[in-house]
Amino acid sequence: MRNTKVLMAAVAGATMLALAACSQGGTTGAAAPTTGASNQGTVGTAKAKAPAPFDTSGVKVAIVQNSGQGDYFQQYLNGTKKQAQAMGVDLDVYDAKGDNATQAQQLEQAIASGVKGIVVRHGFADTLCPGVNEAIQKKIPIVIYDVEIQKCAPDAVQTQQSDADMAGLVLKQMASDIGSGAEVGYVNVAGIAPLDRRDVVWQKAVKDNGWKQLFKTGTYTDSSATDTAPMVVAALQANPGVKAIYAPYDELSKGTLSALQQLGIKNVKVYGADISNADIELMTAAGSPWAATGATDPNAIGAAVLRTLFLDMAGQLKGKNVQFPPILITQDMLKSKNIKNMDDLRAAEPSLNIADVSGADWIPSVTF
């Protein structure tokens, strides 16, 4: 029997965690590392002397991010901080918290501050391209994460999760679970690079499996889960035949779970993206409809993107595009292996450790 009270409590707890995480951002300057066993990381040993500019102390870099709601963003930043500490560089943190104009201004501030390299995380190409191109013109290495910026800034280094693979893994599982010809729902937002890339795979999956998409809804705000839930409620009320819902961002997945709970719907499966301690709790809660997710370890991604910047700063980066491979995580797998948190998941799935991606013998990589 579905234990609705347990699942509702889990969603509420995850939402509170997300709101707390969101409220902690937005400051400029180095911030204290996130605590907790899952986030500590293990620092490797450099086996060679670092090249310039890392052969002297006091190298300063910046991350200019546009974070949303959820502990994914906190984990990513934690990985960035840990890798900066391991390398012995000073890290300035700028967070626009969903305001694109503010992010563009913060990028200008970072450029003017004299940093030797910049990571830009999330945001929109239209508002970021002037600043990105300015940094390139001023010979400041700049690495972009999850912003489609190649058209307007082709000389920028692009990094991203392999979103096509992430969506493909989950949608293959969804097809196996629900079969062909099913009525389905879709919770996603256009205009956000990783979600747009996942959308391409979704459209193909709908066609290939003969699914009938009854609705598309969702929103991206600093409270995406809370703001999406009533939209999904309305969509489900208007389309009672839905068998499964694809929501390819964990905050959208949480909003979808909340909507199903509010309506007392027990027979709709949810397929999502991303993973965190809160997500694991939600997926393994009694009666949870969240069947599968595609994910990387955001701590490891944050560290790997910063290592990519280090290589670019040292003139050792090969190519302009670095992708990080995801894995499929199912509810059945989490339960069968008694996985309760990210530490358990990393132990069960060593491929989440990408310490060798963008590595070099002079970089002390952080392993999570």
Alpha-carbon span 293 to 283, nearest angstrom: 9
Q: Report the residue count for the chain.
A: 368
What pLDDT band is residue 148 in, cutting at 50, 70 and 90?
A: confident
Give pLDDT tens digits for 282-315.
999 999 999 999 999 999 999 999 999 999 999 9
Q: What is the pLDDT of residues 258-275, one digit of tens each?
A: 999 999 999 999 999 999
Q: Give CA–CA dist 237/263, Å, rounded.
A: 8
- Domain 4-13+163-295 top-level CATH class: alpha beta
pLDDT at 39: 67
Q: Tell me how far CA of residue 131 lies from CA of 90, 99, 116, 188, in angstroms.
A: 21, 15, 15, 28
List beta partners, residue 160: 323
Which backbone phi and psi does 177 adopt, to 5 degrees? -80, -40
Domain ranges of the chain: 4-13+163-295, 14-161+297-325+352-367
Residue 20 has pLDDT above 70, yes or no: no
Closest residue by Cα to residue 79 from 41, 26, 115: 41
Q: Please give the C-alpha separations between residue 109 and each of 50, 81, 90, 162, 261, in angstroms, as whole numbers.
A: 28, 20, 16, 30, 44
DSSP string over 261-280: HHHT--S-EEEEE---HHHH
Measured CA to CA, the distance from residue 148 to residue 299 in angstroms comes to 22
Give the SS3 label for residue 289: coil
pLDDT, tens digit, 9 for 90 and up, residues 33-51? 333 445 678 999 999 999 9
Question: What six digits make up the tokens of 8?
Answer: 């509702």
Q: Look at residue 280 and tell me whether its pLDDT is greater than 70.
A: yes
Residue 128 CA, distance from chain mean position: 19
| CATH number, domain 14-161+297-325+352-367, options 3.40.718.10, 3.40.50.2300, 2.40.160.20, 3.30.2130.10 | 3.40.50.2300
pLDDT tens for each residue of 350-367: 999 999 999 999 999 999
Q: What's the pLDDT band for 69 if we cut at 50, 70, 90?
A: low
pLDDT at 26 over 70: no
- State the CB neighbour count (10 A cutoff) for residue 206: 16
Sheet containing 321-324: give its strands across: 90-95, 60-65, 117-121, 142-145, 157-161, 321-324
The predicted-structure confidence for 237-261, as pLDDT tens digits, reads as follows: 999 999 999 999 999 999 999 999 9
